Amino acid sequence: MTINSELLEPLVSVIIPTYNRPQYLEQAISSAFKQTYQNIEIIVSDNFSPEDPQNLVASFGDSRIKFWRHTENVGMLTNQMNAFKMAQGKYVASLHDDDIWNQDFLAKLIPPLEANSNLILAFCDQYIIDAQGQINVAATEGNSRSYKRDRITSGIHEDFQKIALVDKSIPTAAACVIRNGLIDWDSIPAEIGGMWDLYLSYLCYISGYAVYYYPEKLTYYREHEQTDTMLSGRRNVQAKIRKAESEIFCYKVFMKDVRLQEYYSHFKKLWLEANTTLGIGLLLDNKTKAARSYFWQALNEQKFNLRTLTALTLSFTPQIITNKLLSVY
């Protein structure tokens, strides 16, 4: 008697939010279909891309793929959450349209979750690849060290607030499988913006469940000119402002949570840095008065900070000089 393996495997919802990156989207979808774990549904949520990817999605000819296209650009967060809300699987995993999964990604992360109902998520390490899909060895090693995944022990972690919120080791947007039904997707506020992945880690922490770490690189995170990380630097002032606003909101929530008081000073430091960053973004956007209010707030809370003091001083110089000097910030 032959038993369909899919009957023994719980359904996993693969979430792929997308916007105007068809060449990468095709690779992302392909990596989902190539999983050795096959009981999946793939939900592609398009944020009203100028180039409608519906034909690309349909070209896969697989009933496991579902396509949703917004009738207007609703923003990155709303598009992401829309896909999560559509998920029917016992587990959900986010795969961004420019990233790729190793074929054993789900096969290696689902079993720990199935074996222990007290786990809310399982996560792994990741490779860093360039626009052409080539692994950047130095960047990969640096990424693992930066997020301290090279130090995390394999297995279950019950008290994981430091791992999740201080070290930011859990890549919930790129290399993580989450038990569906434990997170209220509507509880992620709009103000969180691009920090939704860190805030999701926070919601997982306060849920009371544990997490599991699988110490292998099972995903490929692509770094290129259009990633949010790249855009939020000097290249795009509005992206810089949005990112700083999201950070201010996020760290303020963490500072107020009595369960995180051990790390209050850490979150306050990041909150102050974000205030200065927002001020710099506003200054570059010719909103000098608003910028100064953030500089003053940061200085009042920490008394002296060279970066903040320098930015405040520059706010009193001619705009053309300010823009040139602030380009290093």
pLDDT at residue 324, rounded to an integer: 62
Q: How confident is the model at residue 303 (pLDDT cuts 50, 70, 90)?
A: confident
CA–centroid distance for 189 within its chain = 15
Q: How confident is the model at residue 8 (pLDDT cuts 50, 70, 90)?
A: confident
Q: Is the pTM of this model over 0.85?
A: yes
One-character DSSP codes across 110-152 = HHHHHH-TTEEEEEEEEEEE-TTS-B-HHHHHHHHHHTTTTTP
pLDDT for 184-225, tens place per residue? 999 999 999 999 999 999 999 999 999 999 999 999 999 977
Compute the distance between CA of residue 45 and CA of residue 75 in angstroms, rounded to an integer: 12
- What residue segments make up the domains of the chain, in order of their start? 9-222, 228-326
pLDDT for 86-131, tens place per residue? 999 999 999 999 999 999 999 999 999 999 999 999 999 999 999 9
pLDDT at residue 10, rounded to an integer: 98
Whether the predicted pLDDT of 2 surpasses 50? no
pLDDT at residue 328, rounded to an integer: 58
pLDDT at residue 302, rounded to an integer: 83
CATH number of 9-222: 3.90.550.10
